[in-house]
Structure 1
């Protein structure tokens, strides 16, 4: 049989076979030898340190001892059999115990021989022992695996371990691939990039990521592979952006007409902030270029993104086009619809709403008017992307909280016109700069980093369970002033696993503290029918109820300027971004607002840091940076679906410099060689051609 190559199915690697191959595919997504080579260790154990037996401590995770086997015997009968050996050095002795593979260990373990023993020390009956220790002959043989200084540790699963594919089993397979196929590894980065950043070749990097010679070699291998990972993400994003600008012509909005001017001069009830003016100017410039705009507007809760979106849509209407705005939930869509109607005061344009609860009769009329061009602005949920929804001339699409939509959902809106409409994406989830570069690297980014004048910063306090009566007293004080209060719970019903104060118990407690008829309580949660939810929302919005008890369904889309207190129960159970979003539901009026974070007395280190961060700062971008470090990119934005963040090694919280280097390098390359025609860009061209199924390099006239 021919020796396996990197493309060979993993089944044909020595020691794998059909059953193990099936498990490697299902559990780790490893189908080929090359994929195994790109399955990296998640940590390393320092094998350079040898402990003396009298230095052992049960708190040590692993130890390595050099000693001689002075005795061994099999003890017990049948299922209770165990092999016990004694290892001795000049400072004492320790017991080594095996409960499995006794015959094999007994045959290979030689009395009187010196071994390197590796394992977790434990105290049993007052003396140290190590169960199922790893043994190596001393001196070590001069092979790749024998000269280990930093031992790789690979993630495995319970199913794999049953087939002896624990970390050590995976390490053996990786060793085989390296011994047989490391010479096949081809370079992926051009030589001039490697020279510029003094980076290892791909072959050296792979060798040193699995079996590093020392800590320095490991660092160099990690830097090379992280750079490669981030570089190719940036290359794909920025190249796609460049192609889109060349391929997709955009409507040119040459006129700032009556609609924008009248709204700005007569209807706008407040002055725009400088940040809002700057972003509107950027949008205005984009829409004049004759190229499809793709712009992301980031703005903290309450920074005025809706007005920016409305003025962008009015700009489209001034130029003879329709516009639409898509929101992830019906609550948020209705909130935008109400806000926009209130701002326009039934003037300038015709506005309509389309959601899942729009009746068939209403839909029929709406579809007819939309196709005839009688509706100027359409606001709605993902109902907008249905094939039946046909615009006469769609020129501007606004997508709110875009990370909640799939890529295909967004693209279906773009295809609603022959010339793609301009795209304005908005998010109130502040995104760290590194994450924005990676996730939205193909979009132009605008930031509204200024709150409207007169807004007072929300005062945030952290109270423990024992201070609950104080919290109730504070709520009563605020309600007596005519204010309203949100109380948010993480669950609807009690969970068996989590000891949380749940919504139903909370309502009972709240009803006791705030009895009828003096106090009215609205209840909103995700399991309610839309009509019931809307009824309760409206009671709170109109001021009929003073307290809204809810789950996180109110995280986005509820705007009640009179609400001045946000109480978040079990606050330690929420992520930072979610806490920040919830806090943003108050502070929308001129009065001082408060956020009270309730928690149990026992907090994890991460939980404590999250609550301390919330108390310390109202800056969403500062909060998002800490959140990225705590939770990782996918958790913050729900971006796993996008496929952009499939990072094996790079960490966006820690590798900002590498990301910036990678992005700058791509920008330099594409500015000099936009279509990657230069022979020195051939490796990059090949990579993109593979990723884009051969369509990336169509010449565009």
Structure 2
């Protein structure tokens, strides 16, 4: 199909009230291949930007807008950076090259103060006359290329360009184009911004206003004062003035919020229609005995949140609750009290951890907290005691058979495990509660899989020690009720945090000396590395050899320069020093005179389960009081004697991950220390992250800072996974009010029409977003 024929199709089916057939036709129109509309050559170029369909192209929004009179600050250009600049032509001259033959055109463009050279080569001067004719002094143009340097001057060699008011079909169009805001699209070297713009116009210009069915119901467009879909696309791509593109973008921000909130509201409504088994409290059972044996008083926050959870468990609607608590807030005790309430009521509880190390740690912690209450069937067990058993993927066959039998028979009231608990081979006698630790490692679909276990779904408690700003919580966890533990139990020590420049040898020597002092005092120290094995210097970030036990945790590694402009061209990164590895660092520390005679252990995900357990046991006992590890020890690991945390290459980690690592020390009242070894330069985003971390131990304040410094794609997961950002325009901090409004609208829609039968275009948009390739926004926090 040609671009001209796009607008000639009958559009009688378009509108807010459409049937299934019209919805299918609408989807076909959106997914029309660009090869049919623009031709194979242009479509192939756009395919380099993953623009394959009409919808892909029309939803490829400009990342900013320029005014023809507003020139780019040329002084800010960096060598190696791919740029699009707006500048005015000062000179353009052709000359013959005697030394190498051929001809060269040299032009100078300026922002009024600074200059940039443009250079074109050809075998004959005549070939360059076209450029000379267009590059007349005084004209303004957009110039795209990679910034180079020649004899101290910055230049673009053979840049692609567009001259404002010249590259148009006729004089009237030239005058009109010269007066409009100029859209700058996320582009590539081979696909400049104006080529994208022309392609958009080719597709968009012939479309009638009702060509697509709008995913936003008409009454909501009226409620919020937004225009329909196609007119809004024109506002964004071909704005008459700045008010037009602002109006258009506002509509698409709301649309993204509505689709996202509708998906969550529909998921929540479907869950609330299910029936679970009520698990009422018993005054004379294990839960009461557990409270009586606790060696410390519960905080008021623990009591309040515990009451919320206990009340949820007493209902026959399955609980879906997110428990937020900063590092050391006492979430495990709250979760255990809930699990015991379920066991008292005749059910079982499963605690799902993201790594085998954390699962094993939870087993030890739960048994220690419960004492005789965890020794069901044993001579030392208390009356009404149960068992706590471990089930992981790497267990030996004998241990696994025993764990499976205890889960299936109900002898184990609490089963702790990794994702192995998701296996169909794992059967429970009566699964009443699933506790998911560190939610950001598990996707929504995995949550749903757990909910679906048995004839009636179990209650679910999702825990995270990564504080989540309210806007993110309602964007990503809108299908969950939220409880917050902000108060920390007594006895937690303050942790002094310092940023140590990696090139300051005196400070590094002092850091190793501090470890010695702590070890001599009977304490323990962690040294964290991003890699397992050593590696050569890498370009840019480099891909750390991923620790297989992290389940993607290391994908929180961020570029040191940070990125905030969606679609902006990335500079060519200079080689960076190799990241420290566990193997090299352990060897280096073993040779340091400050640590002579001290046992040094290693921990990472490639170790077997037995080797991991042994490494942690030796560390906890003091046999190897220094543990060199990857971030596998990031969450949940609890060694009370640990008082020092050293993070090498800390500028490569995000705030939340560093905050989690810091939370591994200071757990027993001893003054503790966290040293962040960094190569980040002042003024970079990475340096700001580390300074923010050193300034406070308040995880909720850090979460807000993290959100301000990072792209939403990173926060929600799309950028880490390598996929495209499903949230193209919505920003969870800036657009909190929009998200609130969309949440109200989505709940109204779901209450009136749970299956969206009256709004098939909205249902279609939700399904499109929930395709596997676009599911990232719901996958992580």
Question: Is this a same-fold pair by TM over 0.5?
Answer: yes
Match of 2:489 among 452, 470, 477: 452
- Contact 1:33–1:177 at 8 Å: present in 2 too? yes
Match of 1:306 among 332, 338, 341: 332
CA positional deviation for 1:73: 6.9
CA positional deviation for 1:360: 1.0
Unaligned 5+ segments in structure 1 are 694-701
- Contact 1:575–1:610 at 8 Å: present in 2 too? yes
| SS in structure 1 at match of 2:205 | helix
Correspondence 1:135 to 2:163: yes
| SS in structure 1 at match of 2:497 | strand
- Kindly tell me: are residues 644 and 408 of structure 1, through their superposed partners in 2, closer, same or farther at Cα, counting changes over 3 Å? farther
Match of 1:496 among 516, 537, 541: 537
For residues 252 and 683 of structure 1, the distance between their equivalents in structure 2, rounded to whole angstroms, comes to: 38
Match of 1:149 among 160, 175, 180: 180
- Kindly tell me: are residues 637 and 304 of structure 1, through their superposed partners in 2, closer, same or farther at Cα, counting changes over 3 Å? farther
Unaligned 5+ segments in structure 2 are 7-28, 78-83, 374-384, 539-575, 772-781
- Kindly tell me: are residues 352 and 10 of structure 1, through their superposed partners in 2, closer, same or farther at Cα, counting changes over 3 Å? same
For residues 372 and 659 of structure 1, the distance between their equivalents in structure 2, rounded to whole angstroms, comes to: 46
CA positional deviation for 1:134: 2.7
- Kindly tell me: are residues 353 and 262 of structure 1, through their superposed partners in 2, closer, same or farther at Cα, counting changes over 3 Å? same
1:422 matched residue in structure 2: 459
Superposed counterparts of 1:494-643, under 5 Å: 494-497=535-538, 498-499=576-577, 500-513=579-592, 518-600=597-679, 602-603=681-682, 605-636=684-715, 638=717
1:222 matched residue in structure 2: 249
Correspondence 1:99 to 2:102: no
TM-score by length of 1: 0.86
CA positional deviation for 1:285: 1.9
For residues 442 and 425 of structure 1, the distance between their equivalents in structure 2, rounded to whole angstroms, comes to: 11
Superposed counterparts of 1:53-64, under 5 Å: 59=76, 62-64=85-87
Instruction: Give the number of equivalent residue pairs.
Output: 677
| SS in structure 2 at match of 1:152 | strand
CA positional deviation for 1:358: 1.8
1:13 matched residue in structure 2: 37
- Kindly tell me: are residues 293 and 79 of structure 1, through their superposed partners in 2, closer, same or farther at Cα, counting changes over 3 Å? farther
Residues 146-188 of structure 1, C-alpha deviations (whole Å, 9 max, x = no match): 2453322222345xx1xxx332222111110121225324433
Aligned-CA RMSD value: 3.7
Residues 118-149 of structure 1, C-alpha deviations (whole Å, 9 max, x = no match): 14599977999876443345697333982453
1:657 matched residue in structure 2: 737
Match of 1:47 among 68, 89, 98: 68
- Contact 1:297–1:446 at 8 Å: present in 2 too? yes
Higher RCO (CA < 8 A, seq sep 6+)? 2
Residues 520-545 of structure 1, C-alpha deviations (whole Å, 9 max, x = no match): 22222333333223212101111223
CA positional deviation for 1:93: 12
Residues 28-86 of structure 1, C-alpha deviations (whole Å, 9 max, x = no match): 343322321111122333323379xxxx965577344378x997677679984434679
- Contact 2:87–2:109 at 8 Å: present in 1 too? no
For residues 92 and 523 of structure 1, the distance between their equivalents in structure 2, rounded to whole angstroms, comes to: 54
For residues 363 and 281 of structure 1, the distance between their equivalents in structure 2, rounded to whole angstroms, comes to: 35
1:337 matched residue in structure 2: 363
TM-score by length of 2: 0.78
| SS in structure 2 at match of 1:203 | helix
Match of 1:208 among 235, 239, 246: 235
- Kindly tell me: are residues 633 and 651 of structure 1, through their superposed partners in 2, closer, same or farther at Cα, counting changes over 3 Å? same
- Contact 2:347–2:413 at 8 Å: present in 1 too? yes
- Kindly tell me: are residues 85 and 412 of structure 1, through their superposed partners in 2, closer, same or farther at Cα, counting changes over 3 Å? closer
- Contact 1:186–1:203 at 8 Å: present in 2 too? no
- Kindly tell me: are residues 322 and 118 of structure 1, through their superposed partners in 2, closer, same or farther at Cα, counting changes over 3 Å? same
Residues 640-691 of structure 1, C-alpha deviations (whole Å, 9 max, x = no match): 67999611111224322322232233345555x3548897x67656756887
CA positional deviation for 1:298: 1.2
